[in-house]
Amino acid sequence: MNDISSLTLPELQAQMLAQGEKKFVASQIYQWLHKSHVASFDEMTNISKVLREKLKKNYDICTCAIEKKLVSVYDETVKYLYRLHDGELIESVVMHYKYGHTICVSSQVGCKMGCTFCASGFAGFVRNLLPGEILAQIYTAERDLGITISHIVMMGVGEPLDNFEHVLRFLQLVSDENGKHLSMRNISLSTCGVVPGIYRLLQEHLQLTLSVSLHAPNDEIRQKTMPVAKRYSIDELLKACRDYTEQTHRRISFEYAMIAGVNDSDENALELSRRLRGMLCHVNLIPVNAVKERDYVKSSAARMQAFIAILEKHHINVTVRRTLGSDINASCGQLRRGETH
Ligand code: SAH
């Protein structure tokens, strides 16, 4: 697959010039791809027929075919099951907030990370997504729903920092002023804690929000639920997070799925408060979502309140994430590479 939608405008210009075409043709093609979101060369009506045929021979356009679409009766959250060019399946979710439409995109087909509470990795890992395939999730949803998406969360299937190059290129393309031109400030990228990836990201000095899936206050608990914790200790991870906030001045968001009897005691809250003391951060508590292969139970409302009270007493910013799309298995940790309904 030689995906034309993964190319930046300067790259496309260079390739067109090298093929004996005029430079402005690259801008026209780029507009069709990134402003009009066409899915075929035939739709590029201001490009000559001859050139369209040549493009068809030399390039492909990443597309997401809508295999299935589910709409939540509670909150109109939409979950798409998309089929990629090679038949692989991924999921994306569109959520409607007062401030705009947000899409949760996948970065890989499957996931290698193996977090025990997350359905995304249960069927294993297949491959990385191309930059154009991450974009296509957005463009397809926008076209299908007739909306403009204003916010992106990289919190779907996959570990974005395990597909670093493609994710970075996706970020460049989606924020490009000649394309969708979405502000980096409206993008969140979530990682399970791939420490070298955090340092690589730091060097890019992007204005996006980094979310870190922490889910435990210490190595002992974290290693039981998140295999990545055996590779990078919580000390190493939190050091990387501190370095990140100090150099980017961007607040980190820590995700913490509350699992009854696993990570939700007063002692756990105290330890978490101690660890995060003084850091430019925010804790997002998520009552753990059900996945059918596991019997994790979410913490009770009273337990959550007690946990929150301890964090607040220690001056840690904390919020509880609202659960959307629960009737269509579209919540955190419920996305998969296959179909489950
Ligand atoms: N691999 C990245 C991106 C996935 S984001 C990461 O781990 O951050 C998906 C978020 O949902 C992560 O914070 C993940 O830890 C969380 N999650 C996974 N399973 C969950 C579940 N069953 N309940 C609540 N949150 C869950």
- What confidence tens digit (pLDDT) does each residue in 272-289 have? 999 999 999 999 999 999
> What's the topology of domain 4-58?
DNA polymerase; domain 1 (1.10.150)
Atom of ligand 1 nearest to the CA of 158: 1
Structure tokens at 178: 């000649």
The pTM assigned to this predicted structure is 0.95
Structure tokens at 216: 């435990």
Say if CB 333 and CB 111 are below 8 A apart. Answer: no
C-alpha of 125 from chain center: 16
Tell how far the Cα of 63 is from the centroid of ligand 1, in angstroms: 26
Supply the residues annotated as catalytic: 91, 332
Tell how far the Cα of 18 is from the centroid of ligand 1, in angstroms: 44
Is there an atom of ligand 1 within 6 Å of 217 CB? no
Q: Say what the alpha-carbon torsion angle 171, 288, 115, 187 is, to the nearest 10 degrees.
A: 10
Is there an atom of ligand 1 within 6 Å of 256 CB? no
Task: Give the tens place of pLDDT for each residue, 12-28.
Answer: 999 999 999 999 999 99
Say if CB 41 and CB 47 are below 8 A apart. Answer: yes
Interacting residues of 51 by C-beta distance below 8 A, sequence separation 6+:
21, 25
Task: Kindly list the domain boundaries of the chain, sorted by start residue.
Answer: 4-58, 65-328
pLDDT at 339: 62
Say if CB 154 and CB 160 are below 8 A apart. Answer: yes
Tell how far the Cα of 174 is from the centroid of ligand 1, in angstroms: 23
Do the domains 4-58 and 65-328 sit in the same CATH topology, yes or no? no
Nearest to residue 128, comparing CAs of 153, 109, 105, 106? 109
pLDDT at 333: 86
- Taking only the tens of pLDDT, the chain with its 341 residues reads 899 999 999 999 999 999 999 999 999 999 999 999 998 999 999 999 999 999 999 999 999 999 999 999 999 999 999 999 999 999 999 999 999 999 999 999 999 999 999 999 888 999 999 999 999 999 999 999 999 999 999 999 999 999 999 999 999 999 999 999 999 999 999 999 999 999 999 999 999 999 999 999 999 999 999 999 999 999 999 999 999 999 999 999 999 999 999 999 999 999 999 999 999 999 999 999 988 888 899 999 999 999 999 999 999 999 998 888 888 888 888 888 876 54
Nearest to residue 217, comparing CAs of 320, 316, 127, 79? 316
Is there an atom of ligand 1 within 6 Å of 329 CB? no
Is there an atom of ligand 1 within 6 Å of 212 CB? no
Q: Which residue has the tokens 């190595």?
A: 219
Tell how far the Cα of 270 is from the centroid of ligand 1, in angstroms: 23
Atom 10 (ligand 1) nearest CA: 332
Q: Span 65-328: which CATH code? A: 3.20.20.70
The values of phi and psi at residue 237, to 5°, are -65, -45
Is there an atom of ligand 1 within 6 Å of 286 CB? yes
Strand partners, 69: 80
